[in-house]
Chain A
Amino acid sequence: MDFSDEEVLARASSGDRDAFGMLYERYVDRIFNYVYYRTGNVNDAEDLTARVFQRAMNHIVNYTDRGVPFSAWLYRIAHNLVANWHRDRSRRQEIPIADAPLVAKGDAPETSLVHTEQRESLLRLIRSLPAERQTLLILKFVEHYSNAEIGAIMGRSEGAVKSLYHRTLLALRDQIGDYSDYSD
């Protein structure tokens, strides 16, 4: 039987562990993706994802529906934990994204290598953006949420998300080097 988020949430809020387990299964992939792209490595992403759900479970009884999706609450917890993680690691050297490299099928090895390097440098660049811009890009390109849905999660209006997205694209373009070579 398929329960709605509201039904499962009501049960989870009254201490039903099975209901919380259902919520966990519904959202674990999304939270993992968010944390993975914010941290850049699988081990930390797994550790932080586990902590997000641990914290959510400890506070689910205090959860109040304020008209925003439940995922917004989870993303908020994830955002705070990732921020703490970055603070803790600010004195250490950055670990480059090394796991799960994507190699396009059919590409020649040297082409694949170029694509992987381009992807990694773009991800590094994205991780240097302010947190809210990273969140926006992850929600848009990994989760394929609409501007309205992203607005609900980030606590902004649809227009504000659209504007922030536009500014983020421009900032990224400027940071990439602004221009690419071509021959006449």
Chain B
Amino acid sequence: MSTKKKIEPADMEAQLERAFQPVQPSRTFVKTVRGRIQRIAPSVVVASHPASDVPHLLLVIGGVLSALLLLAAGARALFYMLNKAKM
């Protein structure tokens, strides 16, 4: 008589152990990519994202805002003087 039996977790693990055998990339491939890493210009590697330098970013934003404020004040003074001259 033929009946059915559940696969035990241990058997399942043994099957997985057999299925997953470590594989090695070819030496040619490993050497080629290693060579590519060496050839990349250092400037590409060390270039940091500008947004990651927060104090520098704040300084730039502050500088731009100050310059705009200065321009606005200058323009306001100019208009004031022109209007005064007309009157």
Chain A interface (Cβ < 8 Å from any Cβ of B): 14-15, 17-18, 20-21, 24-25, 28-29, 32-33, 36-37, 42, 45-46, 49-50, 53-54, 57-58, 60-62, 100, 102, 115, 118-119, 122-123, 126, 137-138, 141-142, 169, 172-173, 176, 178-184
Interface of A, secondary structure class, is helix
Do A179 and B6 contact each other (CB < 8 Å), given the known contacts A32-B25, A169-B12? yes
B83 surroundings in chain A (CB, below 8 A): none
Extra contacts, 11 of them, besides A173-B9, A180-B4 (Cβ < 8 A), are A20-B45, A24-B37, A42-B26, A46-B25, A58-B44, A100-B23, A137-B20, A180-B5, A180-B7, A184-B1, A184-B3
- State the CA gap A109–B9 with chains docked (Å): 28
In chain B, positions 1-23 with a C-beta closer than 8 Å to chain A are 1-7, 9, 12-13, 15-23
Q: Are A50 and B33 in contact (CB under 8 A)?
A: yes
Whether, in the assembled complex, B82 has its beta carbon less than 8 Å from a beta carbon of chain A, the answer is: no
Which of B5, B22, B40 is A57 in contact with, Cβ under 8 Å? B40
Do A28 and B12 contact each other (CB < 8 Å), given the known contacts A20-B45, A21-B38, A180-B4? no
Which B-chain residue is minimally distant from A141 (CB atoms)? Answer: B20
Do A179 and B33 contact each other (CB < 8 Å), given the known contacts A28-B25, A33-B23, A119-B19? no
In chain B, positions 21-39 with a C-beta closer than 8 Å to chain A are 21-26, 29-30, 32-34, 36-38
Which of A21, A29, A119, A173 is B18 in contact with, Cβ under 8 Å? A119
